[in-house]
Amino acid sequence: MEEAVRILSPGCCLEIVEVDFAVYQGNQEVQQVFDSILNHHFINLKPLTVIPSNLTLAAREMRSTGRISVLLPSAPQGPVAQVLPHEAILSTHYPPLSRYAAGSEPVVIVPVSTATARIALHSQAQALAASSYGLANAALDARKRDRTQSQGSSEGGGSVEARNRREKELSELMGSVESWTKELQDRAGMAQLITSQFGWEPAFDQQLFQQLSHNLPVLEDRLRNFGSERRKRDSLFGGQPDPELEFHHQQVELAKRECEHELKAVNRRLNGPETKEKEDEVLGSMDLEVFVAPAP
């Protein structure tokens, strides 16, 4: 930091943006994953509470915008507010950090557009999804250390059974993280945002939705036919199952479930998730703070 400020050209400045991200309605298991990792490594989930006092050591003339809070919508629908220009944030007079005390500055609710908040939510979800393996692996290490400390002896991690158990737990935790981040991405609704902002039609998803909507009743009709054939066979052979008929019945049932799952996923991408309860109007918040240090 000191070197970065020192080599600034006259009239230029160094700008740092830091973010606190909070989702109120998260997956409980995912929350436990984060808590176990952060507690073990003594990581502060709210860096904005500690960063200002440290920055003053590197740049005495550094100034801050104060806390800026952006509310994250839980669904793509909603009015679009005026975007606050970046220059409007930095042109306001703010006290230098040397007179700054964490928590003393009022929180500014910035009227960013719904589109901006949705992009922020989608970006954060992508970052979490990309870290699903690392998060799950670190959480398992934290759990193992906690068990070792409570039991007073190390666990046997070299056995095939222990490795298989870890792989199973790792897969389950990764699935929980990825499922939660997928939900966040659905709530961000980037497909609808791109369509409304640029007029680009999501042609692939639209065609896929039509195809799946056509395939689903066909599969349902085939299952009804299987039921009729099964009843006829039962009356003729006294309930003796036909292995080939049962195999094809299972295949069609599997195809129907996959079609329903994919149809819901495509519908969420095109139309966004359904939110019926009032408390779902705001999913969480993203607090950010901009720190600016001028050239000496």
Q: Which residues of 97-118 are buried (b: 16+ CB within 10 A; e: fewer)?
A: beebeeeebeebebebebbbbb
Q: Is 121 exposed, middle or buried (0-12, 13-18, 19+ CB in 10 A)?
A: buried
Q: Can you give the pLDDT of all 296 residues of the chain as single tens digits?
A: 889 888 989 988 888 888 887 765 567 777 777 777 777 777 777 888 888 878 878 777 788 877 777 777 776 654 444 344 444 444 444 455 544 444 445 555 555 667 777 887 888 888 888 888 888 888 888 878 777 776 665 555 567 888 888 888 888 888 888 888 888 888 788 877 777 777 788 888 889 999 999 999 999 999 898 888 888 877 777 767 778 888 888 899 999 999 998 998 888 777 766 655 444 566 777 788 888 888 88
Looking at the structure, do residues 179 and 103 belong to the same domain, yes or no? yes
Q: For residue 29, which of 141, 173, 140 has the smallest C-alpha distance?
A: 173
Looking at the structure, do residues 68 and 100 belong to the same domain, yes or no? yes
pLDDT on residue 152: 62
Give the residue numbers spanning the domain of 149.
Answer: 2-189+279-294
Q: For residue 288, which of 53, 16, 67 has the smallest C-alpha distance?
A: 67
Q: For residue 268, which of 210, 209, 198 has the smallest C-alpha distance?
A: 209
**What is the C-alpha to C-alpha distance for residues 158 and 147, in angstroms, rounded to an integer?**
16
Looking at the structure, do residues 230 and 136 belong to the same domain, yes or no? no
Looking at the structure, do residues 170 and 227 belong to the same domain, yes or no? no
Torsion of Cα atoms, 167 then 168 then 170 then 173, to 10°: 170
Quote the number of domains for the chain. 2
CB 84, CB 112: distance < 8 Å: yes
Looking at the structure, do residues 257 and 288 belong to the same domain, yes or no? no
Q: Is 196 a member of any domain? A: no
Opening angle at CA 250, ends 248 and 255, nearest 5 = 95
Looking at the structure, do residues 50 and 106 belong to the same domain, yes or no? yes
Q: Is 31 a member of any domain? A: yes
Looking at the structure, do residues 119 and 208 belong to the same domain, yes or no? no
Q: Is 195 a member of any domain? A: no
Looking at the structure, do residues 50 and 96 belong to the same domain, yes or no? yes
Q: Is 194 a member of any domain? A: no
Q: Is 183 a member of any domain? A: yes
Q: Is 226 a member of any domain? A: yes
Q: Is 15 a member of any domain? A: yes
CA–centroid distance for 172 within its chain: 17
Q: Is 266 a member of any domain? A: yes
Q: Which residues pair with 96 in a beta bridge?
A: 63
pLDDT on residue 207: 93
Opening angle at CA 102, ends 22 and 32, nearest 5 = 30
Looking at the structure, do residues 17 and 115 belong to the same domain, yes or no? yes
CB 185, CB 283: distance < 8 Å: no
CB 252, CB 47: distance < 8 Å: no
Looking at the structure, do residues 290 and 147 belong to the same domain, yes or no? yes
Looking at the structure, do residues 88 and 20 belong to the same domain, yes or no? yes
pLDDT on residue 103: 46
- CA distances from residue 205 to 158, 189, 190, 259, 272 in whole angstroms, order as listed: 46, 13, 13, 14, 13
Provide DSSP, 25-53. Answer: S--HHHHHHHHHHHHHHT--S-GGGTHHH
